[in-house]
Structure 1
Amino acid sequence: MSTEIENPQKNNSGNLSYPKPLIAWFTVAALFVAYIFSFIDRMIIGLLVEPMKADLQISDTEISLLQGMAFAVFYTIAGIPIGRLIDRSSRVKIISIGISLWSLMTMVCGFASHYWQLFLARMGVGVGEATLSPAAYSIITDSFAPNRLGLAMGVYGLGSAIGAGLAFIIGAAVISLVASTGDVVLPIVGEVRSWQAAFLIVGAPGFLVAVIFTILPEPARRSVTGKPVETAPMSDVIKFVKSRFSVLAGIFFAVGFVNLSVFAAVSWLPVLYMRSYGMALADAGYVAGGAMVFAGFVGLLGGGWICDKLGGLPHQRIMVSAVAGIGGIIGGFLFPLMPGPISATILFIVFFIACTTPVGAAVSALQQISPNTMRATLSAAYLFVVNIVGMAFGPTATALIGDVFFPQDGGIRYAMAIVAGLGFVVAVGLFLNTARHLKGWTPDEDIPAEPVKSPAHAPNLGPAVADEGVV
């Protein structure tokens, strides 16, 4: 079915005009709010580790599977077919359905009384959230000129940092309320434990956000030249991936290892404050959440702005991610090992700025080199790799290393340092290599889907990209 707006406006050259700035930024604002709620629902479990362990009698490793594997596997499995659907159907309607689904499944977590029930509900949250980012990346790229894309992507990506931070802050407020009044009694539901109340409270508002996307306009799809496009068949997608495998794999896995560092650190940050520094649960939530929100503003908006000021070309965006990654290496290795919470928080902020910078920068580069005929599909493939590497393995790798090698109560800090630091070492190497391959790219036309036979056939990505080898 056709999903383009009827009679889209064209400029004097016959190309499609971008939406008016007011409409474009309102759309970004709506996507930003949706992303906040997606990360609140995704990350709230990180603050609830200790009360859930006490009630359900489960280990750090079992908690890590709820944080990562249960969510990420179905998030990624559903992502590719959903991406194809987004390339062919109304993106705003798909987002509305997805928000409703993940909000419902977050609330289902609040009714769970057994581990397996939580595991299944977290799978459902992952399926719902798989709709948002592939559609959002496509919509934003169709709404802004390339020299404005980095800032717009940064604003959208800021929702992840604010959402993750608010998850800890809201969770801390709920825990504080329960500590002073006893178990929460909710209308219809009745009496629930503190961690169950947190899931119910953060899940419910998502249904209101879903309503916003029933009234948003669907922007016309365009190529990098501004011309309208049709959805590419899957055979063309496969050909394109084969012809640009080095660059695509470089971006996918570089951000994947950044995500590995992110989830290794963030999933256990409140636990670090409680076990290593003796903080109360609520105080740990407020400190962790506030640090993430502040660092997210700097990394996402600052990184996007710098990329646009440098010229906004893909290799420039990837280089900014690489330079930021140096701070990620330093902060990742050091912040969990600091002797006090203040020094740990300062270095965590440095670390998290490095983590959030590629969210806008690298994703913008991917959108620029992806033909719009297959943009959501490639975004879904990107999210598949990023979340399998990062979300599925980051929390669990940290928990396993902690349980096996550092079983003492404060041992999680050493596991965090190992995984968070090494993840960024790999990511920086991949970013540097990918930036080198991208240096010759020019935005003169969508890249042909046929495999490249020689450097002469690859003017958009430069001679180095014609190689199909792994980065």
Structure 2
Amino acid sequence: MTPTEGAPRQALSSYWALAVLFLTNVLNQGDRMLFGVVAEPIRTDLRLSDTQLALASGLFFVLFSLLGGVFIARHVDRGNRVRILAAGIALWSLATAWTGLAHSYLSLSLARILVGIGEATAFPVAMSMIPDLFRTEARGRAVSIYQSSNFVGIVGGTILAGVLAALMGWRSMFIVCGGAGLAVAALLALTVREPARARADDEPPVAYWTDLVTGFRAVLRIREVLYLSVGLGFTAMMGSVLGAWGPAFLIRLHGVELGQVGILIGPPVGLGGIVGTVASGFLADGVVRRTGRRNAMLRVSLVAVLLSLPFMAGFVFVREIQFALVCAGVMNLLLSAAIPPIMNYAIGLVGPRERGITATVVIILMGLVGGALGPAVVGAISDGWQAGHGAQALRYGLAAMLVSPIIAGWIIASVLRTADVRI
């Protein structure tokens, strides 16, 4: 019996657990936005180049988050997920506070690395717990509601970072936000119970390293998981770039003040993401019911990612800031709508004891392609063209990202043609 098939009290505890997972991911995504919003004052104070900023906020953060995720994955599938996530929140919150104390590129990079390792717990734990909290027919909506917390965090993080940095400086802003994270870790640990897993663990004990390698090998043999993970990377690439470079883009090319940048870009991007994410969950569930084919949910992702291209181009090239922000909001709505069906389908390809590892594989490939490659490419183009084009070099770096939805669409279409269609 799953938790939601029992007494009403169990159902209420499932919804409370989802609400707290939602809050932890708001914190997770909000913390990620802090750095991008204050990238300009950090660059000025520490005398960094755009490439150094991109490495600290993108490659270093993502790479160590992914490496941490590899070792955390099997613990998620075998251990107490609530405790694992609470420890992760505490780690990334302390590292966020440490970011405010950084006085060199090395200390800044180390702080970002620790934030990344702590945040490696969030997605695998949530994707492992949600199927144990909700029945199959409600799971798509639960996943989409959880995913919408990304954009609540984006709205809150961008607005809070801009306002607090303008009032008290970027260093104090990081320290305050780190302290708030410790409170969320305590709420999770004290109020959420570890849910019963979908089936009893009747497998014989296996050494950790053997179990870890065996689990990853099993997941990596599933071609659809690999393809969809890379497709997610290209789908999420512009979102990662927007978080890393969107505030700097508005400051440099549209003349927006630091205290206003979060207020301007946060609401359209965040609200677009919330609407797109929640709507796609309901749309995907409806398409699967009507067609009787589980992979039909990927149609929602395919249409959404391709429709995002003209709005992406509008954000990069439109000169009027009002239209640029509208384009950013619609673009993020569509890109956000593409992500939950892909994640839901990929996680559904494995059994309950492989969800943590599968979620980690998804995050590794998605993070390397979208979170690390995208911002780094933009930073390198901006630095390389700075001498001849000035502030416009950042616009050209963002323009290079216009190929990402085309590649993502091609990958999703390839899986749709070949994937198993049975529910």
Compute the TM-score of the two structures, normalised by the length of structure 2: 0.92
Q: Which runs of 4+ in 1 moved over 6 A?
A: 7-11, 16-19
1:213-292 map, 5 Å: 213-214=188-189, 215-222=191-198, 227-230=199-202, 233-234=211-212, 237-238=215-216, 240-241=218-219, 243-245=221-223, 247-292=224-269
SS in 1 for 2:133: coil
Q: Residues 197 and 238 from structure 1, CA distance in 2 versus in 1: closer, same or farther, beyond 3 angstroms?
A: closer
* 1:257–1:390 contact (8 Å) kept in structure 2: yes
Q: How far apart are 1:311 and its partner, in Å? A: 2.4
Q: Residues 282 and 323 from structure 1, CA distance in 2 versus in 1: closer, same or farther, beyond 3 angstroms?
A: same
SS in 2 for 1:86: helix
Question: Structure 1 residues 362-371 or 233-242, which shifts more?
Answer: 233-242
Separation in 1, partners of 2:102, 2:392: 29
Separation in 2, partners of 1:102, 1:240: 30
1:31 paired residue among 7, 15, 21 = 21
Q: How far apart are 1:268 and its partner, in Å? A: 1.1
* 1:43–1:167 contact (8 Å) kept in structure 2: yes
Of Structure 1 and Structure 2, the greater helix share is in 2
Separation in 1, partners of 2:29, 2:248: 18
SS in 1 for 2:276: helix
Structure 2 residue aligned with 1:191: none
Structure 2 residue aligned with 1:448: none
Separation in 1, partners of 2:118, 2:216: 26
Separation in 2, partners of 1:238, 1:204: 35
Structure 2 residue aligned with 1:332: 312
Structure 2 residue aligned with 1:378: 358
* 2:64–2:113 contact (8 Å) kept in structure 1: yes
Q: Residues 378 and 53 from structure 1, CA distance in 2 versus in 1: closer, same or farther, beyond 3 angstroms?
A: same
Structure 1 residue aligned with 2:298: 318
Q: How far apart are 1:359 and its partner, in Å? A: 3.2
Q: Residues 241 and 389 from structure 1, CA distance in 2 versus in 1: closer, same or farther, beyond 3 angstroms?
A: same
Structure 1, gaps ≥5 residues long: 1-6, 179-193, 443-471
Separation in 2, partners of 1:83, 1:18: 31
* 1:141–1:367 contact (8 Å) kept in structure 2: no
Structure 2 residue aligned with 1:307: 284
Write the letter of the residue equivalent to 1:302. A
Structure 2, gaps ≥5 residues long: none
SS in 1 for 2:101: coil
1:59-458 map, 5 Å: 59-178=49-168, 194-214=169-189, 215-222=191-198, 227-230=199-202, 233-234=211-212, 237-238=215-216, 240-241=218-219, 243-245=221-223, 247-311=224-288, 314-405=294-385, 407-419=389-401, 421-442=402-423
Separation in 1, partners of 2:257, 2:315: 19
How many positions carry a matched residue from both structures? 411
Whose radius of gyration is greater, 1 or 2? 1
Separation in 2, partners of 1:285, 1:230: 50
Separation in 1, partners of 2:274, 2:212: 37
Separation in 2, partners of 1:176, 1:286: 12
Write the letter of the residue equivalent to 1:326. L
Separation in 2, partners of 1:123, 1:316: 38
Q: How far apart are 1:210 and its partner, in Å? A: 0.7
Write the letter of the residue equivalent to 2:228. I
Q: How far apart are 1:304 and its partner, in Å? A: 0.8
Separation in 1, partners of 2:34, 2:87: 22
Residue deviations 1:7-62 (CA, integer Å, cap 9, x gap): 98797xxxx99983311111111011000111111221111111111111111111
Write the letter of the residue equivalent to 1:32. F
Compute the TM-score of the two structures, normalised by the length of structure 1: 0.83
Question: Structure 1 residues 407-416 or 52-61, which shifts more?
Answer: 407-416
* Root-mean-square deviation over aligned CA pairs: 2.2
SS in 2 for 1:393: helix
Q: Residues 228 and 401 from structure 1, CA distance in 2 versus in 1: closer, same or farther, beyond 3 angstroms?
A: same
